[in-house]
């Protein structure tokens, strides 16, 4: 029998190395390599299987055929159901990632209770907390009478048989980093254990038919470390984000075999758990103060839903040397590009100023359509002229300073109208396109073709920009 060998596995990205190195050559993280034992593999059974009694011929089928849409179990939490693409799918595995303390256990206990109250069997396995701790949370959330069945366990040898014959509709494993398979010779939480227990649990979900939710902790750099090795294995990956200073939490689908991936769910952490936020725009704009230079409202689209957000820019005199660019909630590279375009194509002088950009409310935006709002906030900060308080902005900006069209203009305008905005600045080709835009009544449209028009609109009445 070959003797067990060891290898080194990066706990951040799962890369394997034959020797120990201080810095992972694959993801560049420091001190993430951990030695793991590779169990000797039994000789390949492939050839034997082919002639064995259990051999089954593989049959191929045409691409067309009857297949019913996946049946769904609604969790009863609308924001969660929407991100899932309409509810839980039986036999599907979902990974829910997020920073420790962000509210994953809270959300899943609420979802579990809601599904159980609808008369389905729900099992909640906690490997991190004791039964008492989960009961305390349930008490705080007012869920004690929901018929969720709870167990504190980490050993899959004990958990798997219980799940197999349970007939449960939903199984929550909180968290996958605490699960332990005896056959794998490494500690819970290591890539090997996470991968093996994740595989075992998803296999069980497929064969038994329950919806499986795996909770996974995520590291600072935004990637689900450890559990990241599960991403290809599960049917959906949801991340729960937000910072603890804000009460908002955003649930986002980053992978979904049964729905769209750009959908978000918005929640608010209250003292009685997570409350759904049905109208995020109103909340994100709630603390906006009118008539302040450096602020602009972006009419964005998150998934299928329009969301209005405040973009804030602050310019401070640079201390010589390379100016600072600090960004929260947007892409730093994109800001650098926009600043260069504003300087080169519209003659805005930043004179080496430090630029700080923030998306208020803690949301992260990725849409290029935010360019125009960011530019407006920066120009407003640079000229000390506030944007009109009732104006929203959207449009993409190209390298030559042209303002380009973006999708779903009408949905953006409609949301702006709903929230009482009366003006919108948007790409000229949308405002004066061949097909007239249907804008809500009372909303005036200003079409902009080039960033120099934007900078021009911030000039003070005396004609000087500062
Ligand atoms: P938790 O769900 O335990 O986070 P995770 O499972 O992602 O680690 O939530 C932890 C935080 O949420 C904790 O700091 C307290 C806060 N919280 C509330 O504000 N209200 C509540 O009703 C609950 C249950 C928790
Ligand atoms: Mg937890």
Q: Position of tokens 């900060």? A: 381
pLDDT of res. 354: 94
Q: Give the relative orientation of helices 104-117 and 131-141 as an angle to the nearest 10 degrees.
A: 70
**Ligand 1 centroid vs 212 CA: distance in angstroms?**
21
pTM value is 0.78
pLDDT of res. 462: 55
**Ligand 1 centroid vs 102 CA: distance in angstroms?**
6
Ranges of residues in the chain whose predicted pLDDT is under 50: 44, 46-52, 463-466
Q: 39, 183 in Cβ contact below 8 A?
A: yes
Q: Among the bound ligands, name the one nearest to the CA of residue 127.
A: 2
**Ligand 1 centroid vs 35 CA: distance in angstroms?**
34
Instruction: List beta partners, residue 215.
Output: 96
Residue of 106, 108, 218 best suited for mutating to test ligand 1, as the one with most atoms within 8 Å of CB? 106
The residue nearest atom 18 of ligand 1, judged by CA position, is 271
**Ligand 1 centroid vs 112 CA: distance in angstroms?**
16
**Ligand 2 centroid vs 398 CA: distance in angstroms?**
43
Note the pLDDT tens digit of each residue in 192-234: 899 999 999 999 999 999 999 999 987 655 555 577 788 889 9
pLDDT of res. 463: 47
| Rounded Cα–Cα distance for residues 295 and 393 (Å) | 11
The residue nearest atom 2 of ligand 1, judged by CA position, is 103
**Ligand 2 centroid vs 430 CA: distance in angstroms?**
46
Q: 240, 98 in Cβ contact below 8 A?
A: yes
The DSSP H or E segment spanning 276 is strand 273-276
Q: 397, 373 in Cβ contact below 8 A?
A: no
pLDDT of res. 220: 55
| Rounded Cα–Cα distance for residues 127 and 377 (Å) | 47
pLDDT of res. 40: 58
Q: What is the DSSP letter of 39?
A: P
Token reading at 30: 């420091």
Coil, helix or strand at residue 169: coil
CATH topology of domain 282-456: Ribosomal Protein S5; domain 2 (3.30.230)
| CATH-assigned architecture of domain 78-278 | 3-Layer(aba) Sandwich (3.40)
Q: 422, 439 in Cβ contact below 8 A?
A: no
Note the pLDDT tens digit of each residue in 275-327: 998 888 887 887 788 788 999 999 999 877 889 999 999 999 888 788 899 99
* Closest atom of ligand 1 to CA, residue 109: 2
* Sheet with 33-38, side-by-side order of all strands: 16-17, 5-10, 33-38
Q: Among the bound ligands, name the one nearest to the CA of residue 102.
A: 1
The residue nearest atom 1 of ligand 1, judged by CA position, is 103
The residue nearest atom 11 of ligand 1, judged by CA position, is 101
Mark the residues whose beta carbon lies below 5 A from ion ligand 2.
105
CB atoms within 10 A of CB 91: 17
């Amino acid at each position: 029998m070959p003797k067990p060998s060891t290898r080194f596995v990066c706990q951040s990205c799962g890369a394997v190395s034959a020797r120990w190195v201080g810095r992972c050559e694959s993801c560049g993280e420091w001190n993430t390599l951990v030695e793991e034992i590779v169990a000797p593999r039994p000789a390949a059974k492939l050839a034997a299987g082919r002639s064995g009694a259990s051999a089954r011929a593989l049959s191929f089928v045409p691409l067309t055929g009857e297949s019913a849409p996946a049946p769904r179990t609604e969790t009863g939490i609308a924001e969660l159901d929407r991100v899932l693409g309409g509810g839980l799918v039986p036999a599907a595995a979902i990974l829910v990632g997020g920073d420790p303390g962000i509210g994953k256990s809270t959300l899943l206990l609420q979802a579990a209770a809601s599904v159980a109250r609808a008369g389905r069997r729900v099992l909640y396995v906690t490997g991190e907390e004791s039964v008492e701790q989960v009961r305390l949370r349930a008490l705080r959330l007012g869920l004690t009478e929901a018929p969720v069945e709870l167990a504190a366990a980490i050993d899959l040898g004990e958990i798997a048989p219980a799940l197999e014959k349970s007939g449960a509709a939903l199984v929550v494993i909180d968290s996958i980093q605490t699960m332990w398979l005896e056959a794998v010779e490494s500690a819970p939480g290591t890539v090997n254990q996470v991968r093996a227990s994740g595989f075992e649990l998803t296999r069980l979900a497929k064969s038994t038919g329950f919806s499986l939710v795996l909770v996974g902790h995520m590291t600072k750099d935004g990637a689900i470390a450890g559990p990241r090795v599960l991403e290809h294995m599960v049917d959906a990956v949801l991340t729960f984000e937000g910072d603890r200073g804000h009460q908002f939490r955003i649930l986002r689908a980053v992978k979904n075999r049964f729905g769209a991936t750009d959908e978000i769910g918005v929640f608010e952490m209250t003292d009685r758990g997570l409350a759904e936020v049905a109208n995020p725009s109103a909340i994100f704009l709630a603390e906006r103060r009118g008539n302040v230079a450096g602020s602009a409202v972006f009419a964005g689209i998150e998934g299928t839903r329009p969301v209005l957000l405040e973009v804030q820019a602050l310019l401070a005199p640079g201390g010589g040397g390379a100016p600072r660019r600090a960004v929260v909630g947007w892409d730093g590279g994109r800001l650098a590009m926009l600043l260069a375009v504003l300087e080169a194509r519209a003659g805005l002088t930043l004179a080496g100023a430090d630029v700080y950009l923030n998306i208020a409310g803690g949301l992260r935006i990725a849409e290029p359509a935010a360019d125009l709002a960011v530019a407006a906030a920066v120009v407003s900060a640079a000229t000390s002229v506030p944007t009109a308080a009732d104006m929203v902005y959207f449009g993409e900006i190209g390298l030559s300073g042209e303002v380009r069209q973006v999708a779903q203009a009408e949905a953006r305008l409609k949301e702006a109208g709903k929230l009482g905005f009366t003006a919108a600045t948007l790409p000229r080709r949308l405002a004066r396109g061949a097909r007239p835009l249907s804008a809500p009544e009372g909303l005036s449209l200003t079409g902009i073709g080039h960033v120099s028009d934007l900078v021009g609109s911030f000039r003070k009445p005396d004609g000087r920009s500062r």
